[in-house]
Homo-oligomer: A and B are copies of this chain.
């Protein structure tokens, strides 16, 4: 497989798992498609899916998935904690291997045209945006599904594809192409949410932090911790170690230690390469040196040790 495209649709159903499975089925059953994630969230009433494969196949299964979602989900009755604009809320395409960003943009636009022809208003965002004020998902989603009828009357918010008419059943859809982002959560050994809030403020771009960091603070009440929940939107220019070390240093100001961190979902190889280079000070390390050694993983009882010179053999 030479060219690989990833797709991360967010679908507005996270409670009725029967519906979720029907929507996801075309993806699961497609040959050559690898599903990396399928996470229904009842509180958000939303499912985040992530799969990858050959670009044309990814486009085809995503069209099938959208068609099913429009048939099975009625936005007029949707409630959930997460902001949303439609039944298939947002569909980012991410070039993973052997592809240029322009090709991912092209796929996103073809997907948008398909959805528009089904009678659903479509907005293009990030790299596929038609104007600067539509790059940012949060800006497009302002007012949410409930604000759509008014927004579609606004000349500044005419859809990029599909009709400029409110479709109560489907709402609108946002699609586009973007660089792979990394979801990094850092858990802090305190119950004081204001510490996480101050750290989120320190690292995120919108309040003076790193150019490619988005961050919010969350309580983890059942664990007695608070969390700085971050998206790194360009790990090449704002790498994981730099962000984590800043979080550690800001937390230390308040006498708070890092309890642990989580990378949620897929992470690009090159981002980990930088983690290894940074912390090992291994300036020339490359992931091409990595071999898979899954065997022998369970029980190290049989490994040998010997003490000769540190070379050869």
Contact = CB atoms under 8 A, between A and B. Distances in A.
Given A268-B291, A282-B263, A310 B230 contact: yes
The 6 A-B pairs at the shortest CB distance, nearest first, are namely A138-B308, A268-B293, A136-B306, A279-B279, A206-B307, A234-B303
Nearest to A92: B313
A112 B302 CA distance: 22
A26 interface: no
A309 B204 CA distance: 11
Interface of A: 4, 6, 8, 10, 36, 46, 48, 52, 82-83, 89-90, 92, 95-101, 125-127, 135-139, 141, 174, 178-180, 183, 204-206, 211-212, 214-216, 229-231, 233-234, 236-237, 240-241, 244, 258-263, 265-272, 275-276, 278-285, 289-297, 300, 302-313
Nearest to A100: B295
Contacts of A309: 83, 138, 214, 216
A141 B307 CA distance: 13
| This protein's copies in its complex | 2
Nearest to A267: B289
A159 B295 CA distance: 31
Given A282-B260, A290-B267, A296-B101, A305 B92 contact: no
A82 B282 contact: no
A291 B237 contact: no
A226 B83 CA distance: 57
